[in-house]
Structure 1
Amino acid sequence: MKNPENSDSIISFLKENGFSKSQLERVVKTNPHLFSASLEKTIKPKIKIFQDLGFSANDIVEIISNAPTFLHRSADNRVTPSLSVLKSLFGSSLEVAKVLKRSGWFLMNHLEKTMVPNIEIFKSLGVGMEQIIKHIYNFPRFLLYIPNDMKKIVKKVDEMGTCRSSKMFIHVVRVVSSMKDENWELKLKHFSNLGFLEDDIFKMFKKAPLMFSVSQRKLKNVKEFLLATGKYDISCIVSHPMPFLCSLEKKIKPRMQVLGILEIRNLIGKWPSLSTITCNVK
């Protein structure tokens, strides 16, 4: 801190606006340069923007604590436009605050040049806004790709044969976007080593893209357990890959044990499909 008086003024101001000791420590650790910034020109104007838009004091504190670096961004060229985009999507300051508390990346990017064009890309592909909004909330950085890069990812997914009208389309795009080429090839190798043909791997991936985030050990254990029952073969797993996303010990094994008991008592003639076994019971 080059100017102790300036640093003290900033700390006092933040305390007055509801920052706790632990939150101040987090800000110092994350962005020590903040305390050499201008209180009047850099910090106060950004906080006022949030106040004017109706954000609560607690939400403002939490947003800044989680991502204080955005305070160095231009109020007119970055912060205000980004908040405007988010509010147009989520409708209220309360909902925008929920998103920003999950990720401050939205205030660090030109949303008009990244997220807005990417939303239009997915809308043009038939993806509904409800799905898009869920992805913005659950996977904040997904729609912040350069639009041309997003188009390349979509093209790659198209080449895999994924149907654009499928509800899984945006999920497939997201998973592909999150993986480097070498990681993608490694996952393909893992499934190949488990006895799956390339076409079958792509069929499963399009139905359950998150299976590519599952460890090789779990994939192997689930596959071997299902085959060991004698009730399911590789083709059953290809048609219904969701077991790879379920807990083997907490979900699959207990349900299989129940089916075994029902079969012994002649209460069932045929075991249900894997999709039925892995569905959530309400």
Structure 2
Amino acid sequence: MAIELLTRRNLHNLSLHSHKQIQNLIKTQSFLFSANPNSHPENNSQYRKQVSLANLLQRYGFSQPQLHSFLKRSHFLLNSNLHDIEKSFGMLLSFKIPQKPLVSLIYDCPAVLDYEFLKKWEVGVSKFGNLGVLLSPLAHRNVLESSKKFQVDPDEVCRAVNVLKGLGFCNGTVNRVLEGFSRLVLMKDSEIYRKVDYLVKFGIRREGVDRVLNLFPGILGLGIEDRLNPLLDEFRDLGFCKNMVRNEIIREPKILSMELGELSRCLEMFRTLKCREPIKYKIFSEGVFRAGIEVKLRVDCLCNHGLIRREAFKVLWKEPRVIVYDIKDIEKKIEFLVSRMRFDIGCLVEVPEYLGVNFEKQIVPRYNVIEYLNSKGALDCEVRLKDMIKLSRLRFFNLFVKPYPECERFFTRFTGDVPVRKQTVGLWKLFKPQKQPNTEDDSKAMRSFMESLV
């Protein structure tokens, strides 16, 4: 009896823990069979190989959507030995690449699973150790992808790394360059020396060059005659001195990624900027040049999330508070807008105020109220982002919170969780003389005065 109970309990636990894996396996097999409808699974070795490959990929972190699209465009893996593919995964894990970057590497460049290619890189990693460089997991990922795509041997990568170490750059800077600029493996030694000498001749000290490459490794890919020289000439023509530009480059090297005319466009926007004086004071507190750099960084942030540059400038012009907000706060709001609220990034062009209001005090409470009402079916029409953000606090409360008392727990302003400020006492109450009690002597004096009048 004890053995029977133990067996039943183990089977029950196994079914609970493996239910999700079984569902994924069924979906995978259904997808693979639908791709070969004329073949029977039991008699098709190709099908069984597809199933084995799919199980192997799922074991190392591939999701269901990634798996389907990956198998559609990676048929060459079916002609490879599954044992070698599994050993390739083991080699990649030995490089200590985290699971998410590892999956993205294989998804973007399936050829990196080539076993012979990874055996060469296993030898190349030891050469990096001889140079005194310990590659980070992300640097490993990018170097492997670029080496396979460009057909570059580990010796070529070691040569580029040796050039950087010979110039005196620290291990952290070398890793940042390999992480952020994959085309380093294609550059000649003379090109690397020339870019570094250009920064030194501009007046940036060697430790400053180390910082520039660490924060903006993409500068190695910018041309001197066709990009850097015209950009610095534009800064000079706008009235900014060389010392100011040099200090700002050391502080924020990404200004060298500006397009020609981009800073002029920022300055033009400042001339027509309409905002309150305290906001304008914060924007220009460190000078016009620094303000232009802050605009450029936020335009890049918005463009990275899907807006075009014209739309990004329009958002900043309509909502200048975004210029003084931290970029991490902006990205946090955009992530919440797209992932949680399910709005398109283009809604920011219509409602730029979303990036200007407080996240914890306004965006989250209002979203929670609307989400709760939608779940209860209390809303007859769709609430747009404009309706959620542009309404005043009292107007939003009267429309969505007051008719539904249970929503007050989401709206802390009116529940007592946040104390409500009392109305200021009027001046007429402060200056009103205090009333003094009448004594017996006062009463006698008043009677005697009245009797004298009679």
Shorter-normalised TM range: 0.5 to 0.7
The aligned counterpart of 2:91 is: 13
The aligned counterpart of 2:200 is: 123
CA contact (8 A) 2:127 2:158 kept: yes
Paired letter, 1:206: F
Paired letter, 1:219: P
The aligned counterpart of 1:63 is: 139
Paired letter, 1:51: G
Matched, 1:179 2:280: no
Once residues 47 and 222 of structure 1 are traced to their aligned partners in structure 2, the CA distance between those partners, rounded to angstroms, is 44
What per-residue deviation string (whole Å, max 9, x for no partner) do you get for residues 202-225 of structure 1? x944355423325334536889xx
1:113 deviates by 4.6
The aligned counterpart of 2:317 is: 216
Matched, 1:105 2:182: yes
Matched, 1:33 2:111: yes
Paired letter, 2:122: K
Of residues 260, 282, 289, the one that matches 1:206 is 289
CA contact (8 A) 2:215 2:253 kept: no
The aligned counterpart of 2:229 is: 151
- The DSSP-based 3-state class of the residue aligned with 2:232 is helix
Change (3 A) 1:184 1:158: closer
Gaps of 5+ in 1: 196-200, 224-246, 250-282
CA contact (8 A) 1:85 1:112 kept: yes
Paired letter, 2:211: K
Paired letter, 2:320: L
Report the TM-score, using the length of structure 2 for normalisation.
0.40
1:138 deviates by 0.9
Q: Greater relative contact order (Cα 8 A, min sep 6): structure 1 or 2? A: 1
Gaps of 5+ in 2: 1-76, 275-283, 299-315, 325-355, 359-454
Once residues 32 and 100 of structure 1 are traced to their aligned partners in structure 2, the CA distance between those partners, rounded to angstroms, is 24
Once residues 160 and 177 of structure 1 are traced to their aligned partners in structure 2, the CA distance between those partners, rounded to angstroms, is 16
CA contact (8 A) 2:87 2:115 kept: no
The aligned counterpart of 2:214 is: 137
CA contact (8 A) 2:120 2:154 kept: no
1:137 deviates by 0.6
Aligned Cα root-mean-square deviation (Å): 3.9
Once residues 291 and 261 of structure 2 are traced to their aligned partners in structure 1, the CA distance between those partners, rounded to angstroms, is 20
Q: Which runs of 4+ in 1 moved over 6 A?
A: 220-223
Once residues 76 and 222 of structure 1 are traced to their aligned partners in structure 2, the CA distance between those partners, rounded to angstroms, is 44
CA contact (8 A) 1:78 1:110 kept: no
CA contact (8 A) 1:66 1:101 kept: yes
Query: Highest Rg: 1 or 2?
Result: 2
Paired letter, 2:189: E
- The DSSP-based 3-state class of the residue aligned with 1:38 is helix
1:248 deviates by 11
Once residues 180 and 197 of structure 2 are traced to their aligned partners in structure 1, the CA distance between those partners, rounded to angstroms, is 22
Change (3 A) 1:133 1:65: same
The aligned counterpart of 2:122 is: 44
Matched, 1:190 2:291: no
- The DSSP-based 3-state class of the residue aligned with 2:126 is helix
Paired letter, 2:161: L
Paired letter, 2:87: S
1:141 deviates by 0.8
Once residues 36 and 88 of structure 1 are traced to their aligned partners in structure 2, the CA distance between those partners, rounded to angstroms, is 32
Once residues 219 and 111 of structure 1 are traced to their aligned partners in structure 2, the CA distance between those partners, rounded to angstroms, is 44
1:63 deviates by 2.0
1:45 deviates by 4.1
Once residues 116 and 122 of structure 1 are traced to their aligned partners in structure 2, the CA distance between those partners, rounded to angstroms, is 10
What per-residue deviation string (whole Å, max 9, x for no partner) do you get for residues 210-243 of structure 1? 23325334536889xxxxxxxxxxxxxxxxxxxx
1:32 deviates by 1.6
CA contact (8 A) 1:109 1:144 kept: no
Moved more, 180-189 or 124-133: 180-189
Change (3 A) 1:164 1:49: same
CA contact (8 A) 2:208 2:250 kept: no
The aligned counterpart of 1:165 is: 243
Change (3 A) 1:185 1:70: same
The aligned counterpart of 2:165 is: 87
- The DSSP-based 3-state class of the residue aligned with 1:95 is helix
CA contact (8 A) 1:154 1:173 kept: no
Identity value in percent: 13
Change (3 A) 1:222 1:86: closer
